[in-house]
């Protein structure tokens, strides 16, 4: 597959500037464990979070939001209905939405929900390698939220999933992989401390929704979102002495992130 072009490399800092300038309103239907952290990540980045995740409100709000995140981490019955409602409303309204199929594969309720949502054509799918492989129908998932597969093992599944659904697929790991079925990119930034903080992966889906709101090229915006998130993680890790201090430093790093940081430090290939 063709790699990300120089234009997309140049686009990364531009996308951050657009997020800051437009403060996209991101509706988050996400899991109860990470709600606060996700909201703080969006605020630090310059976006505006809205945790509107109940039936009869989720759909109308998805029509006016700049972007939507649907994260299947703790899918209780009422939220499941709201997620489907939001996805059904987002498509016709032209609102980009991100599906994070947390722990799909072995767990029946969320796996069935993920398959239903997949039919509603998400703009972006973000998951770890095992989740992407399972969603593509090529595996049984990992160990709950933990991947039992490497990113490289999921690249073909990601490509096939993108090709058949028309969405962008992002596989998170030590080196992140993004594809739209034709183009692909790898982002070799980040720090292992992201995996030691609750919400370190889930909040990235919200950031992808914020970036998707600022340009129609969702492959480019997804690459930019991953780059911004992981470069900030690297900077935060330099200041942190462990997971607790890292979580605080990460929010500060996102808020302090500059276009020049991305231009100089984003490791794209």
Residue 167 pLDDT exceeds 50 = yes
Mean pLDDT of 173-184: 96
Mean pLDDT of 181-185: 96
Please tell me whether residue 170 adopts helix, strand or coil conformation. strand
Digit-coded pLDDT (tens) for 213-246: 999 999 999 999 999 999 999 999 999 999 999 9
**Whether 218 contacts 212, CB under 8 Å:** yes
Mean pLDDT of 260-269: 94
The residues near 8 (Cβ < 8 Å, ≥ 6 apart) are 183, 185, 219, 220, 223, 224, 268
**Whether 6 contacts 269, CB under 8 Å:** no
Digit-coded pLDDT (tens) for 72-107: 999 999 999 999 999 999 999 999 999 999 989 878
CA separation for the pair 265, 6 (Å, rounded): 15
pTM of the model: 0.94
Cα distances (Å, whole numbers) of residue 229 to 66, 108, 252: 19, 31, 12
Residue 4 pLDDT exceeds 70 = no
């Amino acid at each position: 597959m063709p790699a990300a072009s120089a234009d997309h490399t140049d686009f990364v800092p531009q996308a951050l500037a657009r997020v800051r300038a437009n403060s996209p309103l991101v509706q988050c239907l996400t899991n109860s464990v990470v709600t606060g952290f996700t909201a703080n990540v969006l605020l630090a980045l310059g976006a505006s979070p809205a945790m509107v995740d109940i039936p009869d409100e989720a759909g109308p709000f998805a029509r006016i939001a700049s972007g939507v995140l649907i994260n299947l981490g703790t899918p209780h019955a009422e939220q499941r209905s709201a997620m489907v409602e939001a996805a059904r409303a987002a498509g016709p309204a032209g609102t980009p939405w991100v599906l994070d199929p947390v722990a799909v594969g072995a767990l029946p309720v969320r796996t069935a929900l993920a398959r239903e949502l997949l039919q509603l054509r998400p703009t972006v799918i973000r998951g770890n390698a095992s989740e992407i492989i399972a969603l593509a129908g090529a595996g049984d998932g990992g160990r709950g939220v933990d991947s039992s597969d490497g990113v490289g093992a999921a690249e073909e599944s990601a490509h096939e999933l993108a090709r058949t659904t028309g969405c962008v697929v992002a596989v998170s790991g030590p080196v992140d992989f993004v594809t739209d079925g034709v183009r692909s990119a790898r982002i070799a930034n980040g720090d292992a401390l992201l995996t030691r903080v609750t919400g370190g992966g889930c909040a990235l889906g919200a950031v992808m929704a914020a970036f998707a709101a600022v340009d129609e090229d969702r492959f480019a915006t997804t690459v930019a979102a991953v780059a911004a998130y992981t470069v900030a993680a690297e900077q935060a890790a330099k200041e942190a002495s462990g997971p607790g201090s890292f979580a605080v430093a990460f929010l500060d790093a996102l808020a302090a992130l500059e276009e020049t940081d991305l231009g100089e430090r984003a490791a794209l290939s």
